[in-house]
Chains A and B, each alone.
Chain A
């Protein structure tokens, strides 16, 4: 049988970068083909070419043995190619059925046939084993469920070649396991799957084949059984990653952030925080984990001033900050790596350099006599560019043209500032490659050693286990229990996340 996809000599140049450098690549039916590579290696570009979102400058695409032109997504869809995008392509106020059938709606005369649509989606969900409620409004679904809608959307169009661009970045460990099972089933049915990720654990667990890209080129292919997670990571980064040194959990110094009995509502007006108490001390990293929607996001927003608490206390170095504005909090030394970078952390139309001073542009040396000093801003940008290895032609490049992981590096570079007393770090390595993640982890540790207090909120158990000194599991708006690093397993934390069980006393919590 002819391979599902054969790319020959795909070449794509953006101003200042060769995103794809004469890439040859083959995808066979039945494969779950992991595409690995550093941030900016060209993975998304290559898949966008296959899906018709980007026109290559040169190269041939063969689908099922035939050479084809894919000038637009509509052509890709006709060829049976579907893509689950890195950023979900869903219409929040519409229902699940409406989202899935958008563009191929069942009709009753001139009208949308709601009953038939719901039935069709229910049937499809049944057939492929991905239960959803067709009538639910998408914006009210948890992220894992939204992704399921994305997958159904692709399957509804009879896609036989499925592209998953970093599908696991926003999922919790449990949801990742589920997704893995779904992908395996789809591959067993004879479809061909592409899977982009930065997490080697997932590659080893899910993929059947691996291709590694670097700087726009394919540098090697292998299978998970012929290699190890460590070897793969080394291949991606181009050097072996240092094993994480086992440091005993630190005991913090004075209390920097004191949270007492905090209550707050979510966007829908429902109680999201139901009495949270946490102390974060100087020189320690407190980790918070939980299944999406258990109040972690709201907690971070209340601390950083993006959301109002309905009651409870919030003190920074003994001083109440519940009424302080975001800028006042920042000036008191609160740094914030926001979970949703596109909404809360970068202005994509601005340059990298401008984004790097968004919280301090009005202070010298960036502002003098009420005028911005462009040279100082650009110089600062150039320094960070190098330090964080942000892949861009220069510091004046707009953030919108960066790859996802490189956008994240811009945020981290701005927020991990040595002057901050408290760092609220939410999903700091979302979408960044293994090498960059290692670097970001090192930075967080160094700032902590230098006396900052760190509150780390993450979905990734691995990240939590190597960074956090104490781990709090959030469940239904409360901290369900605390664990100390080294004295708990992944499985135990996973159980606590789902059941909120294992609460017990709160060792070192808000004692």
Chain B
């Protein structure tokens, strides 16, 4: 494999890994503060829907643009983040205020999101499904390379894809190097400490969940506004759950989670690789890979890694 191929594969990997990176960050934000969040899938799906719908509905209104990014898409991304944060706050309210079991609350939200987006999709766009947007988020930069056969290969780096890397760094910095991060870790490890020091445990947890929710919403926007340009029923297809595995695989640490997400992304991208090597494997088999990896990772790791000590405790 030459350099050009390598870069192309890297870009493909990163693209496939983006929802997983963002989703695992969502998990890290909430679990580090002590709240189990298995609603990542549902939040992502909601973000994807809200992002698409707003972008589609404002197509004719928001004719301005910010640099290369059309205004309607920007509004869509914002809407996805807001929708994600709101849904995460519902989870927070159920878990922290109503003391619902956090797994049940998360499951309920996943089911709700699946049903509600499908219903609204039909309500707004009828049976025909969602029309394709005229444009998706354009790449911020394109790297044109020539491979050994003299063909041009271009690796595209799109906004949310790059933003996900920025968010990994930001999450790391906030969690481990700021006062807010210390308080978050304390809330996840030993919540009564936070209370006895006269701080509000709820304030910490609601905020962290909302931030996490916004990030999952962004992952949804990535799917509809950066990749597909359309909304399909259940288009997250389990990515939110794989992100959960990525979080565990990454031991609740942003950089480890990034590595884990890239590993999963590579499993996906390897289709390209295998084809260039001329190895023929049924596509269905390759599509299965991330899910199998998730199972294997969880089997090998659960019980051996330790998450925040007080996760799930109120």
Structural contact, B193 and A90, CB atoms closer than 8 A: yes
Restricting to B273-304, which residues have a CB under 8 Å from any CB of A? Answer: none
B309 engages A112 (CB within 8 Å): no
Q: How far is the CA of A75 from the CA of B197 in the complex (A)?
A: 10
Q: Is the CB of B190 within 8 A of A92?
A: yes
* Bound complex: CA A89 to CA B199 (Å): 13
The A/B interface has a contact count, at CB < 8 Å, of 63
Q: A98-B182, A105-B179, A112-B181 are in contact. Are A83 and B198 (CB under 8 A)?
A: no
Indicate if the CB atoms of A112 and B189 lie closer than 8 Å. Answer: no
**A110 within 8 A of partner (CB):** yes
The CA of A112 and the CA of B179, in the complex, are separated in Å by 5
Nearest A-chain residue to B198, judged by Cβ: A74
Residues in B with CB closer than 8 Å to A110 are: 178
Residues 62-94 (chain A) with a chain B CB within 8 angstroms: 72-78, 83, 85, 89-94
Q: Which of B153-200 contact A (CB under 8 A)?
A: 173, 177-179, 181-183, 185-186, 189-190, 192-199
Query: Which of A75, A85, A98, A103 is the most central at the interface, judged by chain B CB atoms within 10 Å of its CB?
Result: A103
Closest Cβ of chain B to A109, distance in Å, is: 9
CB distance from B314 to the nearest CB of A (A): 12
Contact string against B for A residues 43-61, beta-carbon threshold 8 Å, 1 for contact and 0 otherwise: 0000000011100000000
Q: Which among A75, A110, A153 has the greatest number of chain B C-beta atoms within 10 A?
A: A110
* Chain A residues whose CB sits within 8 angstroms of the CB of B193 once the complex forms: 89-91, 102
Task: Return chain B residues, CB-CB under 8 Å to A74.
Answer: 198-199
Interface centre among A75, A89, A91 (most CB of B within 10 A): A91
Partner of B197, one of A77, A92, A107, A112: A77
A102–B177 contact, CB under 8 A?
no
In angstroms, Cα B198 to Cα A85, docked, is 14
Contacting A89 at CB < 8 Å: which of B177, B181, B182, B190? B190
- Could you tell me if B196 and A90 are in contact, using CB atoms closer than 8 angstroms? no
Chain B nearest CB, measured from A115 CB (Å): 12
Please state if B198 and A94 are interface contacts (CB–CB under 8 Å): no
Report the bound CA distance from A75 to B192 in whole Å: 16
Contacts of B173 in A (CB 8 A): 111
Contacts of A75 in B (CB 8 A): 198
Contact B196 A91 (CB under 8 A): no
Beta-carbon contact of A111 and B189 below 8 Å? no
* A contact residues, range: 20 to 34
A108 CB, min distance to chain B CBs, angstroms: 9
Bound complex: CA A395 to CA B49 (Å): 53
A112 in contact with B190 given A73-B198, A103-B198 (CB within 8 Å): no
B residues within 8 A CB of A72?
198
Q: Which of A148-200 contact B (CB under 8 A)?
A: 153
Name the A residues within 8 Å of B177 (CB-CB).
111-112
Q: Given the interface contacts A76-B198, A77-B198, A112-B177, does A103 sit within 8 Å of B309 by beta carbon?
A: no
A52 to B198, alpha carbons, bound, how many Å?
9
**Which of A51, A78, A92, A107 has a CB less than 8 Å from the CB of B309?**
A92
What are the residues of chain B within 8 A of A76 when measuring CB–CB?
A: 198
The distance from the CB of A86 to the nearest CB of chain B, in whole angstroms, is 11
Q: How many residues of B are counted as interface, with CB atoms below 8 angstroms from the partner's CB atoms?
A: 20
Contacts of B186 in A (CB 8 A): 91, 94, 102
Complex contacts, A52 vs chain B, CB 8 Å: 198
Considering the complex, give the chain A residue whose CB is closest to the CB of B189: A91
Chain B residue with minimal CB distance to A83? Answer: B196
- Least CB distance from A451 to B in Å reads 41
Residues of A within 8 A of B192 (CB): 89
When C-beta atoms are compared, the residue in chain B nearest to A87 turns out to be B192
Residue numbers in A under 8 Å from B181 (CB-CB): 112
In the bound complex, CA of A98 to CA of B198 (Å): 16
A154 CA to B198 CA in the complex, in Å? 12
Q: Which residues of B contact A107 (CB under 8 A)?
A: 179
> Once the chains are docked, how many angstroms separate the CA of A8 from the CA of B57?
65
Q: How far is the CB of A146 from chain B (nearest CB, A)?
A: 12
A77 to B195, CA, bound (A): 12
B178→A102 contact, CB < 8 A? no
A261 to B311, CA, bound (A): 40
Bound CA span A362–B186, Å: 39
A110–B179 CA distance with the chains assembled, in angstroms: 8
CA distance A83 to B192 in the complex (A): 13
Q: Is the CB of B183 within 8 A of A93?
A: no
Chain B residues, CB < 8 A from A85: 196
Q: A72-B198, A103-B197, A111-B177 are in contact. Are A93 and B185 (CB under 8 A)?
A: yes
Chain A residue at smallest Cβ distance from B179: A105
CB of A502 to closest CB in B, whole Å: 40
CA A167 to CA B125, docked complex, whole Å? 67
Q: How far apart sit A105 and B185, CA to CA, in the bound complex (Å)?
A: 14
Cβ-defined contact, A91 with B198, below 8 A: no
- Inside 8 A of A77's CB, which chain B residues have their CB? 197-198
* Bound CA–CA A102/B190 (angstroms): 12
How long is the Cα–Cα vector from A153 to B196 in the complex, in angstroms? 11
Nearest residue (CB) in A for B192 is A89
Distance of A90 Cα from B192 Cα, bound (Å): 9
Which positions 181-223 of chain B face chain A at CB distance < 8 Å?
A: 181-183, 185-186, 189-190, 192-199
B189 contacts which chain A residues (CB < 8 A)?
A: 91-94
Once the chains are docked, how many angstroms separate the CA of A88 from the CA of B172?
Answer: 28
Complex-state Cα separation, A111 to B180, whole angstroms: 9
Least distance between A82 CB and chain B CB atoms (Å):
10
Residues of A within 8 A of B196 (CB): 51, 53, 73, 83, 85, 89
**Chain A contacts of B190 at CB under 8 A?**
89-92
Inter-chain contacts of A98 with B (CB < 8 A): 182
| B-side contacts of A89, CB under 8 Å | 190, 192-193, 196-197
On whether A102 and B182 interact (CB within 8 A), knowing A73-B195, A74-B199, the answer reads yes
17 A-B residue pairings within 8 Å (CB atoms):
A72-B198, A73-B198, A83-B196, A89-B190, A89-B196, A91-B190, A91-B193, A92-B309, A93-B185, A102-B182, A102-B183, A102-B193, A102-B194, A107-B179, A110-B178, A112-B178, A112-B181
- A-side residues, CB < 8 A to B, are 51-53, 72-78, 83, 85, 89-94, 98, 102-103, 105, 107, 110-112, 153
Q: Given A89-B193, A112-B178, A112-B181, 7 more contacts at CB 8 Å?
A: A53-B196, A74-B199, A89-B196, A91-B190, A92-B190, A92-B309, A102-B193
The list of the 3 closest CB pairs from A to B, nearest first, reads A74-B198, A105-B179, A89-B193
